[in-house]
Structure 1
Amino acid sequence: MSAPFHVLALAACALALSACGGDTPEPLIEPPPDDTPASTDPCAPNGHVHREPAGDWCHCNRGYRAAAEGLSCETDPDYVPSEGFSFGDNGEHACWHVTNGPFVTVTASTTRLPRVDDFHTYYTVKLRPEGGQYTGTFSYKAFATGNFVIYLSTPDVPVTLVETAIGTPVTPAGTRPTGDYCDGLKHMVGYELTDRVQYTLTLGPTPLPELGMVIEHLP
């Protein structure tokens, strides 16, 4: 008897004991429990796992790399510790986009996270009112591993970046004013990001309803 028909027969016995000729129905055999806790991370303690439709992968801490086989993080023999965050040209290239584009306008929403990860793009960011000021939350997916800079039109805006999958804030590697290349971008916030990782970017609260922004990967 095939497995589905066997299960149906047992269920019928449970409903009609006299017809099946027994006082106690035969118990269904349950599969053995999974002894591995759901919270176990195969990439820990030197990273954490990303479970995605295209396949699971390890996001390893700096100084480690994903193993060639299996889900784990191993020491990266080629890792060279950084001697400080570099802001590159201090915003000269980003300022070029203020004049030449491409231009995209995004509007903050409470129902979705607009994306702000187009390459080499000047964003006009429209924030939403909240508590007498303005704020906005957006989605950013890194397309490389290395130094990234968020260029803003004003320094007076709180910036928060969180790794979306695990809810962990990313500490800025540095902040400073841009060089005197344009009036549209005046402030830089630097981060060390990882390829393929999704981040959540929050701007504000601020009294300003609208900002200019460029996000660049520094080679």
Structure 2
Amino acid sequence: MRSSLHALAVAACAMALAACGGDDPAPTPAPQPQPQNPDASTDPCEPNGHIHREPTGDWCHCNKGYRATVEGLACEPDPDYVPSEGFSFGDNGEHACWHVTNGPFVTVTASTTRNPRVDDFHTYYTVKLRPEGGQYVGTFSYKAFATGNFVVYLGDPSIPITLVENSIQKTVEPAGTRATDNHCDALKHMVGYELTDRVQYTLTIGPTPVPELGMVIEHLP
């Protein structure tokens, strides 16, 4: 009888040890963070440019003196780049003044719901601004369809304009400003910019006490 009780006790201890386990169970691995897509978090065109992500494909907008590589998304020194000495205004407004008389003519009206386009070459725009804070302002959409020197021709140097590259929300500084030659009374001031093909910009005019103005924007060959 005593031996039977001893055997039962040994068996019970064995079952208890089996239930508890002699070794600690392996810890459950902690979830690892998923790596982010490097193309979405980094700019492969830096430091000599920045990327434009568009439905038709990504491309590098390279800084002056650089060009996009053929192999992929990167900017490399442009061996054909020749630094310019100052900004050239071409014929100093003669051709733009021709459009003041001969057109084509387009009227655009500033709005708070959309930015009207003003990116047609060889066009005389009548720009109607909207009242704001006792003066007049307007924002307009401009897409450069070439790379090079562009000139905004206005009737008065006191009219403030600002150009912003949309993709990076960066103000494009004028490459030069000056008065036109005496070709017409409607266009007396020029603001020069160095712009890039396919890039979308926003042009802001004002604030100004002038509710309406004439404007031509040209790409200089």
The residue that corresponds to 1:75 in the other structure is: 77
Residue 36 (structure 1) shift = 2.7
Paired with 1:40 and 1:85, the residues of 2 have a C-alpha distance of: 34
Residues in 2 aligned to 1:171 and 1:157: alpha-carbon distance in whole angstroms: 16
1:25 corresponds to which residue?
Answer: none
Equivalences for 1:130-169 in 2 at 5 Å? 130-169=132-171
Partner of residue 19, structure 2 = none
Which whole-Å CA distance do the structure 1 matches of 2:57 and 2:213 have between them? 37
Match of 1:195 in 2: 197
What displacement does 1:39 show?
3.1
Question: Partners in 1 of 2:185 and 2:148 — Cα distance?
Answer: 27
Q: Match of 1:175, SS? A: strand
The yes-or-no answer on 1:183 pairing with 2:206 is no
For structure 1, which runs of at least 5 residues remain unmatched after alignment? Answer: 1-28
Deviation at 1:156, TM superposition (A): 1.2
1:50 and 2:52 are equivalent in the alignment = yes
Q: SS at 1:38's partner residue? A: helix
Give the Cα–Cα distance (whole angstroms) in 1 for the partners of residues 110 and 87 of structure 2. 30
Secondary structure of 1:98's counterpart equals helix
Letter in 2 for 1:54: T
Moved over 2 A (4+): 29-39
For each residue in 1:46-75, what CA deviation from the matched residue of structure 2 results, as whole angstroms up to 9, or x when unmatched? 000000111100000001000001100011
For the residue of structure 2 that corresponds to 1:204, the secondary structure is strand
1:205 aligns with 2:207: yes
The alignment of Structure 1 onto Structure 2 pairs a total of residues equal to 192
CA displacement, residues 73-121 of structure 1 (integer Å, 9 cap, x when unaligned)? 0111111011110111000000000000000000001110100001200
In structure 1, the residue matched to 2:36 is 34
Given candidates 104, 124, 127, the residue that maps to 1:125 is 127
The Cα shift of 1:155 comes to 1.4
Which residue is 1:114 aligned to? 116
Question: d(CA) in 2 for partners of 1:41 and 1:180?
Answer: 47
Q: Percent identity?
A: 81
CA distance in 2, matches of 1:168, 1:190: 17
Offset, 1:32: 4.0
Bigger mean CA offset, 151-160 vs 98-107: 151-160
Larger radius of gyration: 2
**CA deviation profile, 1:153-211 (whole Å, cap 9, x unmatched):** 11111110010111000010111111101111111000001111111100000000001
SS of the residue corresponding to residue 147 of structure 1 reads strand
Label 1:68 to 1:201 Cα distance change in 2 as closer, same or farther (>3 A): same
- For each residue in 1:121-163, what CA deviation from the matched residue of structure 2 results, as whole angstroms up to 9, or x when unmatched? 0000000000000000001001111110000011111110010
Measure how far apart 1:37 and its partner are. Answer: 7.4
- Tell me how far apart the structure 2 counterparts of residues 31 and 39 of structure 1 sit (CA, whole Å): 15
RMSD of aligned alpha carbons: 1.7
What code does the residue aligned with 1:186 have?
A: K
Structure 1 CA distance for aligned equivalents of residues 48 and 32 of structure 2? 36
User: In the alignment, which residue of structure 2 is the partner of 1:215?
Assistant: 217
Give the counterpart letter for 1:156 in structure 2: S
Which TM-score applies when normalising by structure 2?
0.84
SS at match of 2:38: coil
- Cα distance between partner residues in 1 of 2:189 and 2:58: 37
Amino acid at match of 1:173: A
Hey, what's the Cα distance between the residues in 2 that align with 1:198 and 1:44? Answer: 19
